[in-house]
Structure 1
Amino acid sequence: MTTPSTPTPASETSTSTAASETKPTPRTTTSWLRDHSELGVCALLLALGVLVLTDALTMDVDITQRGPVGPKTVPVVVGIGLLLVAALLAVDVLRGGRGQAETGEDVDLTEPADWRTVALLSGVFLGSAVLIEPLGFPAAGALLFWGAAYALGSRRVDRDPLIAAVLSLAAYALFDKLLGVPLPGGPLMGVL
């Protein structure tokens, strides 16, 4: 036997439906910022552009200019470019544009970041920056190249130091001898 159901009055049905339709989902500041997180990149580009322009415009230049392009031209163009890109990106983000997710075929987005490699590379870079003055560019550069190869997974102890030394000496010769960019030679250059 079926029991008769009690009919719901039409006024109750329309009231409950209307109440659920008019209730907006709460939009918090945190969710808005999460949806527009690319604005952080805009802020970074803006700050960098202002810094570059400030440095370029307050640059004290003692060199007489021998043409239409002086030493301030490139930094001013780069600073203006940074400000322009920041403004265009901000407009795009505020209009609803979103960046594409990484879709590289060799990138597994489910794997966590390899912080060990990042830490090793950072340590090698900072170590070579500290050692460049006392050891000179050739020795510090060789340690940088060898350390970077090791941090990225190469374990060829018979080959990597030799390649690192050749690369470092070639870079030193190119910049110091051919291009005239003075680099610290260190104690090894006094012997050679």
Structure 2
Amino acid sequence: MTSLAARLKGRSELGIAALLAAVGAVVLWDASRLHVTYSQADAVGPKTMPYIAAALLLVCAVLLAVDVLRGGRGEAEEGEDVDLTHPSDWRTVLPLVGAFALNIVLIDVAGWVISGALMFFASVWALGSRRYVRDALISVALSLATFYGFYSGLGIKLPAGLLEGVL
């Protein structure tokens, strides 16, 4: 092993530091491209918060990298119930991935209420629930609640799809 590879062994947190630095750089670059009109009356302006966020991300990246290189290590959460010796449960993971993929395919055609209800139902089925009627009713209610929550509460229009004019 080379000396650099030996020094970096067991320091995977440096990857998180690199990710923080990359995100900070992207936010900084994007903030520099914001177009601000001269007629703006606010002294702070719309570029201030992105610059602050970018600076904080870059400072956190540097501090984390320095800490890791000095020997600091992240501690495992003691309350975590994950046994890392067991393999992944692909019989659960694959149906969940399929539920999200189905939602992506159907959301524009069928609309959020239908695709969301199918996604919620498929997710609880994949996680082991076998109370089909109750799960279907809760899935439809949750899908409708999120549709109207986004539409009425946030002003974000989710696709209505097949239920256009009904909702």
* TM-score with structure 1 setting the length: 0.72
Give the C-alpha shift of residue 178 in structure 1.
3.1
- Alpha-carbon distance in 2 for matches of 1:83, 1:159: 48
Q: Deviations over 1:138-191 (max 9, x none)?
A: 112112222222222222211111111101111111111232112211121323
Total equivalences in the alignment: 166
Corresponding residue number in structure 2 for 1:101: 76
| Matched residue SS, 2:159 | coil
Corresponding residue number in structure 2 for 1:142: 117
Runs of at least 5 residues in structure 1 that lack an aligned partner in the other structure = 1-25
Change (3 A) 1:138 1:96: same
- Bigger Rg, which one: 1
**Match among 41, 55, 58 for residue 83 of structure 1:** 58
Q: Give the root-mean-square deviation of aligned CA atoms.
A: 2.6
Q: Deviations over 1:43-70 (max 9, x none)?
A: 11111121222223323468x7575665
- Alpha-carbon distance in 2 for matches of 1:184, 1:97: 48
Sequence identity (%): 52
- Alpha-carbon distance in 2 for matches of 1:144, 1:35: 38
* TM-score with structure 2 setting the length: 0.82
Runs of at least 5 residues in structure 2 that lack an aligned partner in the other structure = none
Q: Deviations over 1:12-54 (max 9, x none)?
A: xxxxxxxxxxxxxx76443322232211111111111212222
Higher relative contact order (CA 8 A, sep 6+): 2
- Alpha-carbon distance in 1 for matches of 2:158, 2:36: 22
